[in-house]
Amino acid sequence: MRTVRSLFMLGVFCVMSLAPGFAGSGFQTDLVGHIEYVQKEIMDLENAIPDKKLSWRPAKGVRSVSEVYAHIAFSNFMIGRMAGFTLPDGIAITGPADAEKWEKSVTGKKELAERLTQSFDFLKTSIKGVPDADLERSVEFFGHPMTVRSLLMLILSHQHEHLGQSVAYARMVGVVPPWTSAREAEARGK
- pLDDT tens digits along 2-36: 544 443 443 434 334 434 344 556 999 999 999 99
Q: How many domains does the chain have?
A: 1
Which of 120, 130, 125, 186 shows the shortest CA–CA distance to 155? 120
Task: Answer yes or no: is pLDDT of 54 > 70.
Answer: yes
Lowest mean per-residue pLDDT among 10-19, 91-100, 149-158 = 10-19
% pLDDT > 70, the chain: 87
Asked if the structure places residue 9 within a domain, the reply is: no
- What per-residue confidence (pLDDT) applies to 95? 77
Asked if the structure places residue 16 within a domain, the reply is: no
- What per-residue confidence (pLDDT) applies to 1? 52
pLDDT mean over 31-54:
96
Asked if the structure places residue 6 within a domain, the reply is: no
Task: Answer yes or no: is pLDDT of 67 > 60.
Answer: yes
Structural domain that includes position 176: 22-189
Asked if the structure places residue 183 within a domain, the reply is: yes
Contacts of 45 (CB under 8 A, 6+ apart): 163, 166, 167, 170, 175, 177, 178
Asked if the structure places residue 47 within a domain, the reply is: yes
pLDDT mean over 51-60:
95
Asked if the structure places residue 4 within a domain, the reply is: no
List C-alpha distances in Å: 17 to 14, 21, 164.
5, 10, 36
> Which domain CATH number covers 31?
1.20.120.450
Q: What is the DSSP string of 149-164?
A: HHHHHHHHHHHHHHHH
Q: CA-to-CA distance for 7 and 107, rounded, in angstroms?
A: 54
Q: CA-to-CA distance for 121 and 35, rounded, in angstroms?
A: 10
Which band of pLDDT confidence, cut at 50, 70 and 90, is reported for residue 103? confident
Helical spans, DSSP H, in 49-177: 65-82, 99-105, 109-128, 148-172
Which band of pLDDT confidence, cut at 50, 70 and 90, is reported for residue 98? confident
Asked if the structure places residue 2 within a domain, the reply is: no
Report the predicted TM-score, pTM, of the whole model to 2 decimal places. Answer: 0.83
Report which secondary-structure segment, H or E, holds 138: strand 138-141
% pLDDT > 90, the chain: 67
Which of 29, 128, 116 shows the shortest CA–CA distance to 83? 128
Asked if the structure places residue 129 within a domain, the reply is: yes
Task: Answer yes or no: is pLDDT of 173 > 90.
Answer: yes
Query: For all residues of the chain together, what is the average pLDDT?
Result: 86
Q: CA-to-CA distance for 162 and 170, rounded, in angstroms?
A: 12
Q: Is the pLDDT higher at 118 or at 23? A: 118
